[in-house]
Structure 1
């Protein structure tokens, strides 16, 4: 006798399609994206030859966040990620604050990734290409998360092939010099912290796995396995690429580079590889944009279900089983932002919100009991402290803008509560 067919999802819930490999690839598509092509140079400007220390510090904070997120996602496998965890573990306000930080910050990240695509594909028409990329990927997400996972698989394969080529060219070239890895006088503690904050921005994609909790099969097992796997693979890739680029360029030349991986290829004598890296950077940014739109729309869905955003955004398409209204709204907002902003401003604005989001995740993980799969107590403590430390080590303009946006969110929450209380 055949197995009984799976019980169909209720009309207001999402269908569970994703296994471990799909979830890992969505995380890799978020982390191994445009960040590796763009974040090394500003990190080198901040930390000099201490870039690798910044990478190690970012990895420690990311590991704590990943562990806290994985345990929470297994306990609360619903769309929304830390918005759901904060609400369930700390209270409605903290969940709202995490969701607000995520939606606003990652919408800015979407615009930055779209503009990165435009800059690499057609520099003279970067904004137009960025808007076209947003519209195209919104259509892909609208057609269903399985198609998004398949496209992400192809993107990750292309990016990894490009990065492997750069690493081989750098490590086998006659220009590589191990002395360039020595930590010198150009390194300061504050510089290392700022470099870690910049590099953490590129690590943060494992949240996409948690925000897809309602679409993952057997989430209690799949999510805790997928998040550390995706993070571990990304850390190895970032470390190897950073070492190869530093060996060839050195910290000063890397700090002055606008396209560090292309410059590293040329310095290694592999001029033919530079245009390949250019294509790889555009593809990587597309992968990040795809996963970012996916994650922001799911958090929008969760907040709309709780009426923190218009409830109409909680609708799930009866055929494609995706939050179609949330996806269309997110796509429209990102398209407008991509048409009117610049990459530097978008990334700086986003970083503070991302770290605030993970601070709430770690605080939520602290409340788990041992029966609920609580991690070692040190992990959420280090994660929370690390998030706050890196957030306030960012450039002052990013801190001020990020704090102002959080204040606007808090004011909106308070106004909504006041109106609701008067209406009773």
Structure 2
């Protein structure tokens, strides 16, 4: 046997209940997706409610059920592997990881769009400067990688600070909206929540909403680093889910009230809304500290997804379905440093490739976000499919939930996820070239799934040969 098969790297259990709650909030409640969704108008509130009931609630049940049955490092990778077999486990983990290679750059670009407000009004145009956006993204990625290589004991504080920053940023927006609303009256009426005649752009919004609601599964990927996971996880999922859902709906409403459907930028919509409300409330001084706090929140989001998703190639490396060196842990800090570094490098290259294609910063953001939606939701097909299988082959006392809850949540989640994937291929309002968008979406999806098959069958064959050689040696 190889060393990766005989030795399980030692990972430290450093995540407690409230670390997980804050991790869920910072991972699930992503302010960077709200402007892209709210730009479609008040009808998105109905889409939020539908998605919370048909996707988010089943997701919580799936995470608790699967983490109970299959605890350990790997999360979506481990679950699909145990229920459906090695290839499906690898594909689930691969899509989860590659999605985050696309999503982490969108977080970096969003960070750039917000952080320029800290520099003052004269520097806000830098958000659309490709050189500045790429340079700032590189600096932030390096900082996050270094902190997470040092260890989750340090990296989790970036997540926690990000969650606190998210709370403060969301609370500031909500309080300003309430003050202005009480002072001037409501600027949005029931007609604003009607379904528009042109429904094309709502399709993409629904996929992005489902994407915005993922994250409850993130902690289970770090299952070996949670203190008493079976006891800690269910309560953390409940609290993190409730808080995130309420924040999403309230912030979307406030953003629509403050900026209006046509005044929302996908990169700077939140700061623009706060600036508009601050002017009306005569507290314009609040814009700079708000932008600083929101920048911290965005950095926390990037750290959470970078750290969590890097565990997928780490586990795949240990399983020999990817290069074994991806399964290395740092000799001093006991962290999957090789997987973290590879993740960051590829994310940066993807940003560079999109910029070289001629797209602007905002269009690059939207295209990468939509492709991330497709790849991110693939593992959820396996999660909800597993619930359906458990319900059909129900064994009392084996899991947490009964047959009706497993079947209802599994079927609901599976159908909603399938719709979310399909609808992400429809272009958002910010897309200027539909043909280029569709080429990137279909081509990117085919490329990443094809690459998954390549790694699985090439390295899977290598793994089979190693196993056969090991068996022969033992027999001798």
Counterpart CA distance in 2 for 1:328 and 1:263 is: 34
Deviation at 1:404, TM superposition (A): 4.2
Distance 1:228 1:190 in 2: 34
2:272 is aligned with 1:263: yes
* C-alpha spacing 1:58/1:403, structure 2 compared with 1 (3 Å): farther
- The correspondence for 2:227, drawn from 209, 212, 217, is 217
Task: Work out whether 1:27 is the aligned partner of 2:27.
Answer: no
Q: 1:74 aligns with which of 53, 68, 71?
A: 68
Cα shift at 1:417: 4.7
Whether 1:170 and 2:177 are equivalent positions in the alignment is yes
Q: 1:321 aligns with which of 334, 340, 361?
A: 334
Contact residue 114 and residue 267 of structure 2 kept, 8 A: no
Question: What is the RMSD of the two structures over their aligned residues, measured on CA atoms?
Answer: 2.5
Residue number in structure 1 paired with 2:361: none
Deviating more after overlay: 62-71 vs 268-277:
268-277
Larger radius of gyration: 2
CA–CA separation in structure 2 for the residues paired with 1:317 and 1:422: 28
1:79-94 correspondence to structure 2 within 5 Å: 79-94=73-88
1:159 aligns with 2:171: no
- 2:206–2:423 Cα contact (<8 Å) kept: no
**Change in 2 beyond 3 A, CA 1:405/1:30:** same
What aligned pairs does 1:130-141 form with structure 2 within 5 A after superposition? 130-141=137-148
Distance 2:386 2:214 in 1: 18
**Would the aligned equivalents of 2:207 and 2:424 in 1 still touch at CA under 8 Å?**
yes
Residue of structure 2 aligned with 1:309, choices 322, 327, 338? 322
User: How far did 1:334 drift?
Assistant: 2.5
2:258–2:273 contact (8 Å) kept in structure 1: yes
Q: How does 1:72-151 map to 2 (within 5 A)?
A: 72-122=66-116, 123=126, 124=129, 125-151=132-158
Match of 2:367 among 327, 341, 345: 345
The equivalent residue for 1:183 is 193
Q: 1:308 to 1:422 in 2, by over 3 A?
A: closer
CA contact (8 A) 2:161 2:300 kept: no
Q: Tell me, what secondary structure is at the counterpart of 1:49?
A: coil
Q: What TM-score results when the alignment is normalised by the length of structure 1?
A: 0.88
2:11–2:335: 8 Å Cα contact kept in structure 1?
yes
Runs of 4+ in 1 over 4 A off after TM superposition: 187-193, 415-424
- SS of residue paired to 1:83: helix
Offset at 1:276? 3.5
Q: Quick check: 187-196 or 316-325, which moved more? A: 187-196
Specify the alignment match of 1:409 in structure 2.
Answer: 452
The 8 Å contact of residues 165 and 294 in structure 2, kept in 1 or not, is answered as: no
Q: 1-side partners of 2:448 and 2:151: how far apart?
A: 32
Shift of 1:195: 1.9
Are the counterparts in 2 of residues 50 and 187 from structure 1 also a CA contact under 8 Å? no
Query: Does 1:298 pair with 2:320?
Result: no
Moved more, 217-226 or 231-240: 217-226
Aligned partners of 1:319, 1:79: CA distance in 2, in Å?
20
1:206 aligned partner = 216
Per-residue CA deviations over 1:279-314 (Å, capped at 9, x if unaligned) read: 233222211110111112111111111111111221
Task: Compute the displacement of 1:343 (Å).
Answer: 2.2
Aligned residue for 2:384, secondary structure, equals: helix
SS in 1 for 2:93: helix
Contact persistence 1:71–1:224 (CA under 8 A):
no
- Once residues 192 and 128 of structure 1 are traced to their aligned partners in structure 2, the CA distance between those partners, rounded to angstroms, is 33
1:236-275 aligned at under 5 Å gives the runs 236-254=246-264, 259-268=268-277, 269-270=280-281, 271-275=284-288
Q: TM-score, normalised by structure 2?
A: 0.79
8 A contact 1:131–1:339 mirrored in 2:
no
With over 3 angstroms needed to count, the CA separation of the structure-2 counterparts of 1:307 and 1:384, relative to structure 1, is: same
Q: Distance in 1 between matches of 2:293 and 2:29?
A: 11
SS at match of 2:397: helix
Alpha carbons of structure 1 residues 151 and 112: separation in structure 2 relative to 1, 3 Å:
same
Q: More deviation in 80-89 or 402-411?
A: 402-411
Distance 1:119 1:266 in 2: 14
Deviation of the 1:142 alpha carbon: 0.8
Q: Distance in 1 between matches of 2:370 and 2:91?
A: 19
- Give the distance between the partners of 1:250 and 1:171, measured in 2 at CA: 16
Aligned to 2:241: 231
Asked if 1:365 is matched to 2:387, the reply is yes
Contact preservation (8 Å) 1:128, 1:339: no
**Gaps in structure 1 of 5+ consecutive residues:** 1-9
